[in-house]
Amino acid sequence: MRRCSRNACSGVAVATLTFEYESSTAVLGPLALEADPGSYDLCALHAERTTAPVGWEIIKMPYSATMPGQQIADDDLIALAAAVREVGLSTQDSQRQKSTTKPKSRGGTRHLRVVRDDQ
C-alpha cells in the first residue's frame, strides 16, 4: 500500500498526479499500478485539493477515494495517455520542421558528435 507523496502526510494514496510538460497539462487519475519517480501519489484529501499551475490545464479522471486498489477501465486511461502524447508529438514535429537549418561549423576537429535518430 503506497502513501501520499505530500510532506508530512501519511494518508493512503488513491490517485496519481502526472505532468505533461510539453502541452502544459496535469493529469490526476486513479492510482498507477506501479510507483513512478515522475509522478505523485496523493491521498483523497490532497487529490481533491489539487489545482493546476497558472497557465496549465488539469484533467481529472474519476478515481475511487474509498478503495485504493480499484481502477477505472484501462481503455479510458490508455486513451487519455494517447491523447496527451499526441498533443506533445504534434508540437515536437512542428518544432523540428522549423529548425531545419544546419549549425555553423566552428572549424577544427571535435571528438564528440551529435547523431540524429531519424526514426
pLDDT in tens, 4-32: 999 999 999 999 999 998 899 999 999 88
Residue 47 lies in a domain: yes
21 DSSP assignment: T
User: In terms of Cα–Cα distance, which of 116, 1, 9 is closest to 69?
Assistant: 1
pLDDT the model gives residue 42:
94
Q: Is residue 7 part of a domain?
A: no
Average confidence (pLDDT) over 48-76: 75
Which pLDDT score is estimated for 50?
Answer: 93
- Residue 98: inside a domain: no
**Which one is predicted more confidently, 71 or 11?**
11
| Residue 4, in any domain of the structure | no
Q: How far apart are CA 97 and CA 12, in angstroms?
A: 46
pLDDT of residue 78: 72
Residue 66 has pLDDT above 60, yes or no: no
Kindly state whether residue 99 falls inside one of the protein's structural domains: no
Q: Is residue 76 part of a domain?
A: yes
Residue 117 lies in a domain: no
| pLDDT reported for residue 97 | 61
Strands (E), the chain: 15-20, 25-30, 40-42, 57-60
- The 10s digit of each residue's pLDDT in 76-111 is 667 777 777 777 766 655 666 665 556 566 666 656
Identify the residue with better confidence: 49 or 101. 49
* Number of independent structural domains in the chain: 1
Per-residue burial over 81-104, b = 16 or more CB atoms within 10 Å of its CB, e = otherwise: eeebeeeeeeeeeeeeeeeeeeee
Predicted local distance difference test score (pLDDT) of residue 62: 84
In a domain, 72, yes or no: yes
Q: Which domain holds residue 84?
A: 15-91
Mean pLDDT of 54-66: 84
Edge-first strand order for the sheet with 15-20 is: 40-42, 15-20, 25-30, 57-60
